[in-house]
C-alpha cells in the first residue's frame, strides 16, 4: 500500500481551473490571467516542472493572490513535494476559506503525506460544501481506516456508496464490504463484496475484480462460516487499503481538484 490515495487520478483535472485571474480589466490582471493559463497548459501536457517555473515567476509579483498560491501548492503536491505544498495550500485557504476545491486539494496532499487525522479534519469540514459528496465521504472513510477507526469508517463508506451513481461504485462497495469484514459483520459485507466483484458502476471491470486475490478470499470468508473456523484472525496481515481499489474509486468527472486556470 503506497499510502497515497491521490494516486487515484491525481492529475485528471489539470488545466481545469482553480481560479483564473480576477477580472483581467487592466494590464497587470491580464498578465496574471495569461500566466495562470499558460501554467495550466504546461501542467495539462504533463510538464509539471514548466508549470512550476511559470507559477514561481507569478509569485514574485502576485505572492498574495489566492489563485497563484493555490495552483503553486497543487503543482508542488503533484510533483511530490508534500510539505511545501501544504504550506502554500494553507496560505491560499486563509484567503479563500470557503473554497471546497481547495480544501479537497489540501486533503489529498495530507493523505499523500500519511497525515490522516489532519486529512480527516479537512475532508470532514468540506462535507457540506463539496460538489462531490461521494469522493469526500470516501476519503473520510479512507482516513479513518488508516487510523484504525473502522466503525466510523463504515459510516463514511456507507455515505459514499449512497452518493455514488456510477463512477466509483465498485470501489466504495469493496471498501465498505472489507470494513464490515474487519468488524466480523460477514452477512452485511457479502452483498457489497459481490457488487464489487461484478464491477458495477464502471469503476472496475468484472474480470479485474474477480482476479483480485484479496477480494476472492473475502468473498469466501463472508459466504462460508466454515472458512472462518480455526483461524484466530482470518484477516491478519491484510492490506487495509489496496491501491487497486483507490485507483478504481477515481473521482467522478469534474470532481478531481483542478490545477491552474
The per-residue DSSP string of 2-55 comes to -S-GGGTTTTTTBTS-S-PPS---SHHHHHHHHHHHHHHHHHHTT-HHHHHHHH
Whether 210 is in a domain gets the answer yes
Whether 255 is in a domain gets the answer no
What's the domain range around 205? 5-249
Please tell me the distance from the alpha carbon of residue 213 to that of residue 195, in angstroms, as a whole number.
16
CA atoms within 13 A on the CB side of 168: 31
The average pLDDT across 155-166 equals 87
As a whole number of Å, the CA-based R_g of the chain is 20
Distant-in-sequence, close-in-space partners of 16: CB < 8 Å, separation ≥ 6: 40, 254, 258, 259, 261
Between helix 133-146 and helix 100-112 the angle, nearest 10°, is 30
Nearest Cα neighbor of 160 from 169, 147, 152, 151 is 169
Between helix 48-62 and helix 27-44 the angle, nearest 10°, is 160
Distances in Å between the Cα of 37 and the Cα atoms of 32, 130, 161, 260 are 9, 24, 36, 7
The average pLDDT across 41-49 equals 92
Task: Examine the pLDDT at 63 and tell me if it is beyond 70.
Answer: yes
| Percent of the residues in the chain that have a pLDDT greater than 90, as a whole number | 45
Whether 221 is in a domain gets the answer yes
Task: Examine the pLDDT at 88 and tell me if it is beyond 80.
Answer: yes
Whether 208 is in a domain gets the answer yes
Report how many domains make up the chain: 1
The average pLDDT across 222-246 equals 75
Give the model's confidence band at 246: pLDDT under 50 very low, under 70 low, under 90 confident, else very high: low
Tell me the average pLDDT of the chain: 80
Whether 257 is in a domain gets the answer no
The average pLDDT across 215-236 equals 84
Task: Examine the pLDDT at 237 and tell me if it is beyond 60.
Answer: yes
The three-state (H, E, C) secondary structure of 126-170, written as one string: CCCCCCCHHHHHHHHHHHHHHCCCHHHHHHHHHHHHHHCCCCCHH
Which has the higher per-residue pLDDT, 179 or 242? 179
Lowest-confidence pick of 31-40, 75-84, 89-98, 162-171: 162-171
Task: Examine the pLDDT at 12 and tell me if it is beyond 60.
Answer: no
Q: Output the pLDDT for position 25.
A: 54
Which has the higher per-residue pLDDT, 238 or 109? 109
Please tell me the distance from the alpha carbon of residue 31 to that of residue 88, in angstroms, as a whole number.
21
Task: Examine the pLDDT at 14 and tell me if it is beyond 70.
Answer: no
DSSP 68: H
The average pLDDT across 97-118 equals 89
Whether 261 is in a domain gets the answer no
The CATH number that applies at residue 187 is 1.25.40.10
Whether 40 is in a domain gets the answer yes
Q: Output the pLDDT for position 68.
A: 94
For the stretch 179-201, pLDDT in tens is: 999 999 999 999 999 999 887 54
Task: Examine the pLDDT at 205 and tell me if it is beyond 80.
Answer: no
Whether 259 is in a domain gets the answer no
Model-level pTM?
A: 0.77
Amino acid at each position: 500500500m503506497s499510502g497515497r490515495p491521490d494516486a487515484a487520478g491525481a492529475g485528471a483535472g489539470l488545466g481545469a481551473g482553480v481560479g483564473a485571474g480576477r477580472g483581467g480589466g487592466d494590464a497587470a490582471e491580464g498578465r496574471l490571467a495569461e500566466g495562470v493559463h499558460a501554467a495550466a497548459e504546461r501542467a495539462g501536457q504533463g510538464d509539471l516542472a514548466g508549470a512550476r517555473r511559470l507559477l514561481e515567476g507569478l509569485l514574485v509579483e502576485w505572492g498574495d493572490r489566492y489563485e497563484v498560491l493555490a495552483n503553486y501548492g497543487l503543482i508542488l503536491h503533484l510533483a511530490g513535494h508534500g510539505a511545501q505544498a501544504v504550506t502554500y495550500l494553507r496560505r491560499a485557504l486563509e484567503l479563500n476559506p470557503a473554497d471546497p476545491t481547495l480544501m479537497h486539494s489540501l486533503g489529498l496532499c495530507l493523505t499523500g503525506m500519511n497525515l490522516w487525522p489532519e486529512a480527516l479534519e479537512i475532508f470532514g469540514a468540506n462535507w457540506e460544501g463539496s460538489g462531490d459528496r461521494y469522493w469526500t465521504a470516501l476519503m473520510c472513510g479512507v482516513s479513518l481506516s488508516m487510523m484504525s477507526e473502522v466503525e466510523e469508517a463504515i459510516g463514511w463508506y456507507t455515505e459514499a456508496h449512497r452518493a455514488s451513481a456510477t463512477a466509483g461504485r465498485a470501489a466504495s462497495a469493496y471498501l465498505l464490504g472489507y470494513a464490515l469484514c474487519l468488524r466480523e459483520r460477514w452477512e452485511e459485507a457479502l452483498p457489497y463484496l459481490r457488487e464489487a466483484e461484478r464491477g458495477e458502476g464502471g469503476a472496475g471491470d468484472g474480470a479485474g475484480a474477480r482476479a483480485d486475490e484479496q477480494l476472492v478470499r473475502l468473498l469466501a470468508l463472508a459466504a462460508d462460516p466454515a472458512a472462518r473456523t480455526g483461524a484466530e484472525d482470518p484477516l491478519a496481515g491484510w492490506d487495509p487499503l489496496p491501491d487497486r481499489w483507490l485507483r478504481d474509486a477515481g473521482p467522478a468527472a469534474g470532481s478531481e481538484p483542478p490545477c491552474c486556470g
